[in-house]
């Protein structure tokens, strides 16, 4: 798609986890991108330590999961301790439905450094670190970015990933609705970990709730609620707080200390014209569910392919509206979960705390309720109610089991599908009964067409393939069960691995026609790119 001279297709403002993930994905999709951050280095104060399966899957698409997870501790339990110090609930999900463990502990500065290094892989992604955005104007065809010490830059679309205090959000007049919590917390990261507790502990002591978490490389995170008037950053207070738990707080090797106020806030819209808010610029939540950065990474995954499709002419500008439609309610659900966990962690009164301990201990003895806690079913599912998909069974993230690719290598599903659209048929060529209009849409979307065969189906079952059909094997027979449970055999998968349509070989043509009439594809020519 041609751009006016000097106009960059996508500019990303802010290279924190949300912006840098989006820029890496745009790099993978081959989109010319400009990344701007006012800081040359990365934020090194204590922030995220929990990264979930959905985020790691996104990093996998960006080609960075291996590097980032090499610095992480995978599959870490989360334990809740009551006022008496007894554990009353334990969360350790055993399933890896999206290909990765649900609870992993990492160090945000190391991951951010890997994300920034990742940008160097793409000659079409330029980085201007040490460059501050001072303002922006939107016109019919694009956005003008005003930068300190540089000439203005034109972009067709802008991702505003400029953090919780987003100047862009402010400039656009988008309000951040919600609450700011009255209590402050101090976060203390230590280089030494004398505590034998290889989990994340939420200690729900009404006198002073605290969090204690083992971090990679022998570090430990402590977070303590502060009472009014306490100076959580003073060395004496830090020593006092650690002294309740460590025999020798001086040897804990305090690396950083920072006091935080917690917010539960959501931007009124995630999209204004050609600008889309992502990450903390769009939502702020207390850290108890470990979902702030994860929610931002999900924004990045949702937004990057949509902008890539729009600037490449595979979709219309209308597709951007589905970003707000899909991501805003999901981010709200994560805020609500974080607030709810905060209430469990720090109830206002001791009797409430005792009742909570008893209730959750009793729940952990009831099989269904125990599973809800242990398997982390309280976390909102990656599923959208409205957006770019068709049919009541679509809109959820597709599973990611192991498969055998055409070269007989055992890989995660997404590695076999590639990083863009895919149309997959279980035991069938999904396009076998699709007419030319449907095939033209599949071609326009650039979808990989895949036949999945049973594990050890033998070469005979792989034969008879037509050119352009890729055959992969369902290594652990998980996909067979998934499709059988839904009585369908074909799925259209989006680049972010959400299901755009779940159907049968016979009805795929109709599902493709429905997708084609979605407002997101409205300006796309009906039969292939012009
Ligand atoms: C104590 C604590 C614990 C947390 N724990 C977790 C956790 O376990 N799991 C989790 O998922 N999340 C957690 N979070 C939240 C997580 O750290 C944030 O959600 C995440 O860092 C936000 O990323 P972002 O990319 O949206 O914004 P940021 O990381 O804030 O990045 C914004 C970037 O924009 C740049 N910028 C700003 N303004 C301009 C401008 N005008 N011009 C150019 N550049 C600009 C900044 O320099 C910065 O680099 C925690 C947070 C805290 C404070």
3-state SS, residue 244: coil
Is the Cβ atom of 187 under 6 angstroms away from ligand 1? yes
Is the Cβ atom of 132 under 6 angstroms away from ligand 1? yes
Confidence of residue 378 (pLDDT cuts 50, 70, 90): confident
* Ligand 1 nearest atom to the CA of residue 162, by list position: 34
Is the Cβ atom of 13 under 6 angstroms away from ligand 1? yes
Q: Are 313 and 1 in contact (CB under 8 A)?
A: yes
Q: Which residues on adjacent β-strands are paired with residue 267?
A: 176
pLDDT, tens digit (0-9, with 9 covering 90-100), for 60-113: 999 999 999 999 999 999 999 988 888 888 888 888 999 999 999 999 999 999
Give residues with Cβ within 8 angstroms of 345, minimum separation 6.
Answer: 80, 202, 204, 209, 211, 288
Residue 317 is classified by DSSP as G
Two tokens at 274?
Answer: 């050609």
* Ligand 1 nearest atom to the CA of residue 167, by list position: 41
* Ligand 1 nearest atom to the CA of residue 131, by list position: 43
* pLDDT more than 70, % of the chain: 96
Q: Is the pLDDT of residue 3 over 70?
A: no
Q: Are 271 and 323 in contact (CB under 8 A)?
A: yes
Is the Cβ atom of 287 under 6 angstroms away from ligand 1? yes
Which 3-state string (H, E, C) describes 405-452? CCCCCEEEHHHHHCCCCEEEEECCCCCCCCCHHHHHHHHHHCCEEEEE
Confidence of residue 217 (pLDDT cuts 50, 70, 90): very high
Contacts 24+ apart (CB under 8 A), 41-44: 42/15, 42/16, 42/109, 42/112, 42/113, 42/116, 43/16, 43/108, 43/109, 43/112, 44/109, 44/256
Confidence of residue 372 (pLDDT cuts 50, 70, 90): confident
Q: Whose structure tokens read 């203390």?
A: 188
pLDDT, tens digit (0-9, with 9 covering 90-100), for 165-215: 999 999 999 999 999 988 899 999 999 998 989 999 999 888 899 999 999
Predicted model pTM:
0.95
pLDDT, tens digit (0-9, with 9 covering 90-100), for 509-522: 999 999 999 998 87
Contacts 24+ apart (CB under 8 A), 165-169: 166/14, 166/277, 166/280, 166/281, 167/133, 168/13, 168/133, 168/136, 168/275, 168/277, 168/281, 169/267, 169/277, 169/281, 169/282
What is the rounded distance in angstroms from the CA atom of residue 470 to the CA atom of residue 472? Answer: 7
Whole-number CA gyration radius for the chain: 24
Two tokens at 63?
Answer: 């080609």
Two tokens at 56?
Answer: 């790691």
* Ligand 1 nearest atom to the CA of residue 280, by list position: 26
pLDDT (average), residues 49-68:
98
Q: Are 71 and 86 in contact (CB under 8 A)?
A: no
pLDDT, tens digit (0-9, with 9 covering 90-100), for 99-125: 999 999 999 999 999 999 999 999 999
What is the rounded distance in angstroms from the CA atom of residue 279 to the CA atom of residue 290? Answer: 14
User: How far apart are the CA of 285 and the centre of ligand 1, in A?
Assistant: 11
């Amino acid at each position: 798609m041609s751009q006016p001279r000097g106009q960059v297709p996508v500019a990303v403002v802010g290279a924190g986890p949300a912006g840098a993930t989006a820029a890496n994905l745009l790099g993978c999709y081959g989109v010319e991108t400009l990344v701007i951050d006012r800081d040359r280095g990365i934020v090194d104060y204590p922030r995220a330590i929990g990264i979930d399966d959905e985020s790691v899957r996104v990093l996998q698409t960006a080609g960075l999961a291996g590097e980032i997870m090499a610095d992480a501790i995978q599959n870490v339990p989360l334990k809740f301790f009551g006022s008496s110090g007894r554990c009353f609930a334990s969360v350790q999900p055993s399933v890896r439905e999206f290909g990765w463990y649900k609870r992993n502990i990492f160090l945000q500065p190391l991951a951010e450094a890997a994300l920034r290094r990742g940008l160097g892989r793409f000659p079409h992604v330029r980085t201007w670190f040490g460059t501050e955005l001072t303002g922006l104007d939107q016109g019919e065809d694009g956005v003008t970015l005003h930068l300190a010490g540089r000439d203005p830059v034109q972009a067709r679309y802008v991702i505003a990933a400029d953090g919780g205090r987003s100047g862009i959000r402010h400039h656009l007049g988008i309000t951040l609705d919600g609450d700011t919590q009255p209590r402050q917390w101090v976060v203390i990261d230590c280089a030494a970990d004398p505590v034998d507790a290889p989990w994340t502990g939420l200690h729900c002591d009404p006198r002073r709730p605290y969090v204690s978490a083992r971090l990679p490389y022998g570090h430990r995170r402590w977070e303590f609620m502060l009472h009014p008037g306490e100076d959580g950053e003073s060395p004496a207070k830090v020593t006092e707080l650690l002294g309740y738990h460590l025999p020798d707080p001086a040897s804990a090797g305090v690396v950083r200390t920072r006091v935080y106020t917690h917010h539960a806030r959501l931007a009124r819209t995630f999209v204004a014209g050609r600008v889309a808010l992502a990450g903390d610029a769009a939502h702020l939540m207390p850290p108890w569910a470990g979902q702030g950065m994860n929610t931002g990474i999900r924004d990045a995954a949702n937004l990057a392919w949509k902008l890539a499709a729009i600037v490449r002419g595979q979709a219309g500008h209308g597709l951007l509206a589905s970003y707000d439609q899909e991501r805003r309610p999901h981010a709200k659900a994560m805020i609500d979960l974080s607030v709810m966990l905060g209430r469990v962690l720090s109830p206002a009164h001791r009797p409430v705390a005792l009742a909570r301990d008893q209730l959750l201990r009793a729940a952990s003895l009831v099989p269904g309720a125990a599973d809800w806690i242990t398997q982390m079913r309280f976390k909102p599912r990656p599923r959208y109610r409205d957006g770019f998909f068709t049919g009541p069974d679509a809109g959820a993230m597709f599973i990611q089991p192991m498969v055998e690719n055409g070269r007989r290598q055992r890989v995660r599903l997404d590695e076999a599908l590639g990083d863009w659209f895919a149309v997959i048929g279980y035991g069938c060529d999904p396009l076998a009964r699709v007419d030319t209009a449907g095939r033209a849409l599949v071609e326009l979307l650039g979808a990989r067409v895949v036949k999945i065969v049973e594990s050890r189906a033998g070469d005979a079952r792989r034969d008879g393939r037509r050119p352009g059909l890729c055959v992969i094997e369902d290594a652990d027979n998980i996909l067979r069960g998934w499709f059988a449970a839904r009585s369908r055999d074909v799925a259209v998968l989006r680049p972010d691995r959400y299901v755009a349509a779940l159907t049968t070989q016979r009805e795929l043509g109709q599902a493709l026609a429905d997708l084609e009439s979605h407002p997101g594809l409205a300006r796309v020519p009906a039969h292939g790119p012009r």
